[in-house]
């Protein structure tokens, strides 16, 4: 299985200094992800993203971040290849 993992920080989607989602950034990401899939149809892409300012309070209140993180890493350890590429945006 050929998996690529992309994690987008929540502050890129919903910057803390504003109260809105960055729709231009999200459109640009969607376009680039579609292009990646078109160029590399044999690769599976896993997209992880943070919650930004929108998700911080509920995640902290309900302990979501820790539970989800444990589940995600358990799945990735089982399925992903031994080498990963990190892309900084």
Give per-residue pLDDT as tens, 45-62.
Answer: 888 887 777 777 777 787
Does residue 19 surpass a pLDDT of 80? Answer: no
What does the pLDDT average to over 21-44? 89
* Residue 87 pLDDT class (50, 70, 90 cuts): very low
Task: Report d(CA 9, CA 15) in Å as an integer.
Answer: 10
Q: What is the pLDDT of residues 35-45, one digit of tens each?
A: 998 998 898 88
Mode of pairing for the β-strands spanning 44-49 and 3-8: parallel
Domain ranges of the chain: 3-79
Q: What is the pTM of this model?
A: 0.57
More confident: 26 or 80: 26
Q: In Å, how far are 16, 19, 37, 73 from 12, measured between CA atoms?
A: 9, 13, 22, 22
């Amino acid at each position: 299985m050929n998996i690529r993992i992309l994690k987008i920080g929540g502050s890129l989607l919903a910057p803390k200094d504003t109260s809105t989602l960055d729709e231009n950034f999200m459109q640009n990401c969607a376009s680039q992800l579609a292009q990646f899939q078109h160029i590399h149809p044999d690769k599976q892409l896993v997209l992880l993203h943070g919650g930004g300012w929108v998700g911080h309070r509920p995640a902290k209140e309900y302990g979501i971040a820790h539970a989800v993180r444990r589940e995600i890493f358990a799945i990735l350890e089982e399925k992903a290849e031994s080498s990963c590429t990190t892309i900084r945006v």
